Amino acid sequence: MRTGIATVCLSGTLKEKMRACATAGFDGIEIFEQDLVTSALAPEEIRTIAGDLGLTLDLYQPFRDFDSVPENLLAANLRRAAAKFRLMSRLGMDTILACTNVGTASIDSDDLRMEQLGRLAELAGDHGVKVAYEALAWGKYVNDYEHAHRLVEAVNHPNLGTCLDSFHILSRNWDTAPIAAMTPEKIFFVQVADAPKLAMDVLSWSRHYRVFPGEGQFDLATFMGHVVRAGYSGPVSLEIFNDVFRQADVGRTAMDGMRSLIWLEEQTAKQLQDADTPADGGTGAGRRRYPMELATLPQVAQPAGYNFAEVRAADTAGLEKVLDQLGFEFNGRHRTKNVQLWTMGHARVIISQAVPGPAAAPAAGSGPAIAALGFDVDSPAIAAARAQQLKAPAVPRKSQANEEVFQGFAAPDSTEIFLCQGNPDGTAAWTHEFGEGLELTATAGSAVIDHVNLAQPWQHFDEAVLFYTSALALQPQPFAEVPSPTGLVRSQVMLTADRSVRLVLNLAPLAQQDGDGSRKTYQEHIAFAVQDLVATARAARDRGLEFLQIPANYYEDLDARFGLDPTFLATLQDLNLLYDRDADGEFLHFYTATVGNVFFEMVERRGSYDGYGAPNAPVRHAVQYSHRQSDPRA
Amino acid sequence: MRTGIATVCLSGTLKEKMRACATAGFDGIEIFEQDLVTSALAPEEIRTIAGDLGLTLDLYQPFRDFDSVPENLLAANLRRAAAKFRLMSRLGMDTILACTNVGTASIDSDDLRMEQLGRLAELAGDHGVKVAYEALAWGKYVNDYEHAHRLVEAVNHPNLGTCLDSFHILSRNWDTAPIAAMTPEKIFFVQVADAPKLAMDVLSWSRHYRVFPGEGQFDLATFMGHVVRAGYSGPVSLEIFNDVFRQADVGRTAMDGMRSLIWLEEQTAKQLQDADTPADGGTGAGRRRYPMELATLPQVAQPAGYNFAEVRAADTAGLEKVLDQLGFEFNGRHRTKNVQLWTMGHARVIISQAVPGPAAAPAAGSGPAIAALGFDVDSPAIAAARAQQLKAPAVPRKSQANEEVFQGFAAPDSTEIFLCQGNPDGTAAWTHEFGEGLELTATAGSAVIDHVNLAQPWQHFDEAVLFYTSALALQPQPFAEVPSPTGLVRSQVMLTADRSVRLVLNLAPLAQQDGDGSRKTYQEHIAFAVQDLVATARAARDRGLEFLQIPANYYEDLDARFGLDPTFLATLQDLNLLYDRDADGEFLHFYTATVGNVFFEMVERRGSYDGYGAPNAPVRHAVQYSHRQSDPRA
């Protein structure tokens, strides 16, 4: 699949954008007119730079408001087109996007449009230019891709074709199946964009909320499947108008976009394979072949669970104390590294010593933070190869002979993600590298890591969703918004189908982040599931644990909502436990005080409860906020 | 008018919110349930704190999902209500908001609702509580305030009344006139919220985008006029769900809210006066009187123009050089202060020396910035009294005997706003305080300050719109969004009707702001209008002015769009002039290079052109960005 991206997706100057696109590995780019008009580079220089970078210049765009106009305006539009065609010649470009008229259309006649598009195609032909006609979702008279394509077919000129843009098609819920029947020679260009499903006017939705494929809710694999079936084999190019991407680091955004196309290519291949496999379940010998070649990635199953979580701190004493009070067992130090292992059942927490200095771990200077997560996967080598092909940046982890080598890479928020070989019984082989000579009592119970909650910088939230979707095969759930005393916290759950991995991405209020979002400034946490939360809490209290103190008002409200048994309610209040109930089951949980940027949660799931106690989250935020104000009663 | 505000409008803990509300001058507050549930304060303590602060506790809210349910759910809902009624007794509160059912309603029967609301009213009566029933705009069966009120009237119980919320009514475009005919005893509460007109689902619109009155586009004066006509005299209370307000400083937001109610009170009084004045133009002797007393503010006309603009810098040399090159005349130093006056026609620029130190002027440490604006008003004393009543913070300006004393106050972005007595001929009396003994040539020409463009911190943008609307009687125009290499810039024009004052509020991309938005980090500018821009530019070039360099590509595009006369186009390009044209006229302008955070623009308006060259703004942003990158061709 030939990959492309429109320069409007990215921040910076045209040259900065082109360099970032080349570095990210795109085959070509679309030149967004404003990026050229505002550039100090002459068209010939742009052409040379693209050549030097190995980028093709695939599409000049947009040419607006051409058709459905009176003759005097058409003459001006043709003159404007001729100027752009001459410019394209200097750029060495041959395809221009003409979108359906929004602003100046005044005559609703397909016959007139055919005539006018014919004249445009004729003029384009004189300049060796191809015009790709695109139906904008909010075009005044033409807003349906099939309508636009009918006009293209009726004009029947070699220099006029269709441009398909997934946003304009899927935002209007147009059926995509007819794409498969299009003549491939008449599809001049394909643009892809994803978006969250929002109930708002389609123009605002398009201009501000588009995201890269895999970051929204559109069914792009099906769309692309039809494009491939039609026989199209040209560029598949990203055109994403997104308020955040416009502000974010150009290199990061370009890489994010490239990852989205690699993932989409795989999803499209899968979609075709699934849909085109004969009903008799044949091995695919009879599967159709298409002009577009689709690469696939090493296939991985969803992770089977968390292998470990690692918390890093310059001073680890506070962490050690809390884990001990929670009932974790100290499993000793690593034989060669300055890290400790703490376990409770199959929940493993590594505490590592942050190395001060400019190249220190994230937030090393500001107290403990979650530094790494290990996931159990079928084959760490295959999973790592997949992540690498998805351009996940590898992180080195030093190891010595006879030690397990973890394959690792950096998530968008800089958390290190390691791929581990888990044992079916929930144990991990590498633990023998810890606590040599230490006499360990058997760690009782079946505690596991229930979920991990990571704070995301505002510029990289969408990128993180795609990262975990594509590299770890987690599935994003509908997001929630939780009120806190410093603003709404956007909370995005990522899951495996069997719930063995639950990862929550939290977008902290902007006022809690620094302007460029580069530092972890917001608390994160690790939650452990146990069988008997009340017993766990009692034991922790006996060991002196500092619980997050839940207000009495909360328990009164709980009683008003649920009408709980008075003894049970008293137990909850006595132990600072929070409670939730829904049709699936019940949820009990408590929080520790915060150490640096980290706190811990202990949970008990009863029945098939599948949530996270969302109604209680505002209580947690409010109490933590009060503690940060250093006067809990302020 | 009794003023109130719901705690959900504000950031922080319940106690922080209450203190801020008292400081801002509210009479009472609504307790948003979540603020109580998450608070460590006992209900009795909250009651005491409110009493100490002089705040009445006007409304407990919300009580959700009560009506239209089967009997078993109703029993649980009544039990839940009883618990809340007991809680209210401890708080010393007597009114609760019950909103129409969204989540659990399953039976659409007004008869059933009447019966159920009657039982709720009966139970409320037992506890001495009044229930204010509100139609949510997205209520499942009841979403129209008239429908809700018909139910209230039909139940006809002294403990059941209506709550009117302007958002739920105006977002659905319900007619507000029927409010005037309501029985005042049946209106238990009135909530006001403004909002920008957005085409999106009403729930998201309500939860994220409400703003204080005067910051949106709802006709709240007409709504309030009907409320007053009905005979209601209870609290008028703000209920604003806004993503930014939730994050902003609690004291600032509370003050902003208070200002909005003071302004709304005046607008309501005006609306009533206009609407109720007899057609014979009588003096109002026969004007109706209503139970709600409405205070008014000192009346001011819109300002007649800019009196001056002040730029402050630690090192003023760069500013002096640019103004000199632009053709400004140095009018000498002030007789007692360390400031200089530069003029061109009636455009006056003061350059002042920033005093270093902790209490320094904004951005004193980061180069020149716009520090103050002077506006010509009819009566500075009356205008200052008005601003003071609108809680604008006064700024002191030292002056000595025989010097003009400016009345000044601080705008939300910390720019100092001064109210000046202008002369009808465009001169200003205070200029004689400058340049004693200096021989001045007569300043030729009719140059004026055309517009000023101020960068706004993201937390205070809406506040700024209300500030200039209420204190200076400027009118907000529909906002625009301008692409820049670092993100979209939101641009909000504020105008006088005669265009003698044009103020542009720019919201810079978040990545360009610090997290708490406290510093001016984005460039701002002052634009001067001249009669002959080409001559002005030539003269400036001769004096060595560094123009903002406009790319050649821009002029090619300009020609493609407008088909300009080649000689004229060559002149534009030769002088780095930008050009725009619309049905009203033409616009020529150029920019200087940036000095610190400030640059200057020279403009010429031809015909009735009323814009700001918006199509050219992306060019300006891109070139300025390139210069900040210190390689214009990067």
For chain B, the first-to-last Cα distance in angstroms comes to 59
Give the whole-angstrom CA distance, residue A456 versus residue A513: 10
In a mutagenesis test of the A interface, which of B14, B16, B38, B633 is the best target, namely the one with the most A β-carbons within 10 Å? B38
Sign of the alpha-carbon torsion through B42, B44, B47, B49: negative
CA distance A125 to B476: 48
Give tens-digit pLDDT for A368-396. 889 999 999 999 999 999 999 999 999 97
A553 and B42 within 8 Å at the Cβ level: the answer is yes
Nearest-angstrom CA–CA distance, A187 and A149: 9
Instruction: Measure in Å the smallest separation between the Cα of B321 and chain A Cα atoms.
Output: 26
Q: Judge whether A178 is closer than 8 Å to chain B, CB to CB.
A: no
How many residues are given for chain B?
634
The answer to whether A44 contacts chain B (CB < 8 Å) is no
ipTM of the complex: 0.93
Specify the higher pLDDT residue, A510 or A38.
Answer: A38
Three-state DSSP state, A594: coil
Cβ–Cβ below 8 Å for B80 and A487: no
Residue to mutate among A31, A64, A553, with most B CBs inside 10 A, is: A553
Whether B622 contacts chain A with CB within 8 A: yes
- State residue B589's pLDDT score: 98
Per DSSP bridges, beta strands B585-591 and B598-607 are antiparallel
Cα distance between residue B81 and residue B319, in whole Å? 67
Partners of A625 on chain B (C-beta within 8 Å) are: 12-13
Stated as kind and residue range, the H or E segment containing B36 is: helix B33-37
Whole-angstrom distance, CA of residue A313 vs CA of residue A328: 18
Residue of A nearest to B616 (CA): A38
Query: Taking residues A258-278, what's their average pLDDT?
Result: 92
Q: Is the pLDDT of residue A364 over 80?
A: no
Which residues in chain A have their CB less than 8 angstroms from residue B625's CB? 12-13
* Domains of chain A and CATH, by start: 2-276 (3.20.20.150), 305-628 (3.10.180.10)
Cα A237 to chain centroid distance, Å, stands at 18
- Partner A contacted by B265 (CB < 8 A): no
> CA distances (Å), B496 to each of B186, B196, B301, B377, B451, in order?
41, 21, 10, 12, 11
Q: Is B24 helix (H, G, I), strand (E, B) or coil?
A: helix
Nearest-by-CA chain A residue for B90? A553
Asked if residue A236 lies in contact with residue A4, where contact means CB atoms within 8 angstroms, the answer is yes
Closest residue, chain A, to B14 (C-alpha) = A634
Q: What is the DSSP letter of A251?
A: H
| pLDDT score of B362 | 46
pLDDT score, position B320: 97
Cα–Cα dist A92/A49, whole Å: 12
What pTM value is reported for the model? 0.94
- Residue ranges of the alpha helices (H) in A448-532? 461-472
**Phi (first) and psi of residue A97, to 5 degrees:** -90, 125
Instruction: Cite the DSSP H helix spans in B291-338.
Output: 317-326
Contacts of B614 (CB under 8 A, 6+ apart): B480, B482, B491, B580
Q: Is B92 left (phi over 0), alpha (psi -120 to 50) or beta?
A: left
pLDDT tens digit sequence for A107-153: 999 999 999 999 999 999 999 999 999 999 999 999 999 999 999 99
B80 φ/ψ sector (left φ>0, alpha ψ -120 to 50, else beta): alpha
Query: Are residues B15 and A618, on separate chains, in Cβ contact within 8 Å?
Result: no
Average pLDDT taken over every residue of chain A? 92
Closest-CA residue in chain A for B42?
A553
Query: How deeply is A424 buried, as exposed, middle or buried, from its count of CB atoms within 10 A (0-12, 13-18, 19+)?
Result: exposed
Whether A511 and A487 have beta carbons less than 8 Å apart is answered as yes
- B632 to chain A: which residues are within 8 Å by CB? 40
Rounded Cα gap, residues A419 and A379, in angstroms: 8
- Residue B623 CA to residue B618 CA, distance in Å, equals 9
Please compute, for residue A5, the number of CA atoms within 13 A of its CA located in the half-sphere on the CB side: 35
Closest C-alpha among A405, A526, A538, A517 to residue A464? A517
Within 10 Å of residue B415's Cβ, how many Cβ atoms? 23
Backbone angles phi, psi at B188, to 5 degrees: -85, -25
From chain B, pick out residues whose CB is under 8 angstroms from the CB of A563.
Answer: 76, 79
* Interface check B75 vs A, CB under 8 A: no
Instruction: Provide the CA B280 distance to its chain's centre, in angstroms.
Output: 37
d(CA A182, CA A180): 6
Residue B563: list chain A partners with CB under 8 A: 76, 79
| Entry field: residues in chain A | 634
Segment A160-171, tens digit of pLDDT:
999 999 999 999
**Nearest alpha-carbon partner for B342 in B322, B363, B360, B362:** B322
The span from the CA of B551 to the CA of A41, in Å, is: 8
Residue at B608: amino acid letter: S
| Contact yes or no for B557 and A618 at CB 8 A | no
pLDDT tens-place string over residues A304-355: 999 999 999 999 999 999 999 999 999 999 988 889 999 999 999 999 988 7
* Tokens read off for A257: 């976009």
- Is B11 in contact with A198 (Cβ distance < 8 A)? no
- DSSP-assigned letters across all residues of A290-308: -SS--------PPP-EEEE
Pick the more confident residue, A547 or B366: A547
DSSP 8-state class, residue A88: H
Q: Are A72 and A107 in contact (CB under 8 A)?
A: no
Q: How far is CA A564 from CA A435, A557, A570, A580, A604, in A?
A: 46, 11, 10, 11, 17
Whether B634 sits inside 8 A of A16 (CB atoms) is yes
**pLDDT score, position A117:** 98
Confirm or reject contact between A585 and chain B (CB < 8 A).
Answer: no
Low-confidence ranges of chain B (pLDDT < 70): 278-287, 356-366, 398-402, 439-444, 514-521, 630-634
Query: Residue A420 in contact with residue A313, Cβ under 8 Å?
Result: no
Nearest to A40 among B16, B509, B632 (CB): B632
Cβ neighbours around B135 below 10 Å, total? 26
Q: State the Cα–Cα distance between residues A321 and B525, nearest whole angstrom.
A: 56
Give the list of residues 6+ apart from residue B577 with CB closer than 8 angstroms, or none: B533, B534, B537, B550, B571, B588, B589, B590
Rounded alpha-carbon distances, angstroms, from residue A261 to A164, A258, A473: 16, 5, 16
Q: Which of A38, A618, A626 sits opposite B551 (nearest CB)?
A: A38
Chain Cα centroid distance, residue B460? 8
Please indicate if any CB of chain A lies within 8 Å of the CB of B89.
Answer: no
**Using CA atoms, how far apart are residues A202 and B252, in angstroms rounded to an integer?**
35
Would you call A16 and B247 a contact, using CB atoms and an 8 Å cutoff?
no
CB atoms within 10 A of CB A237: 28
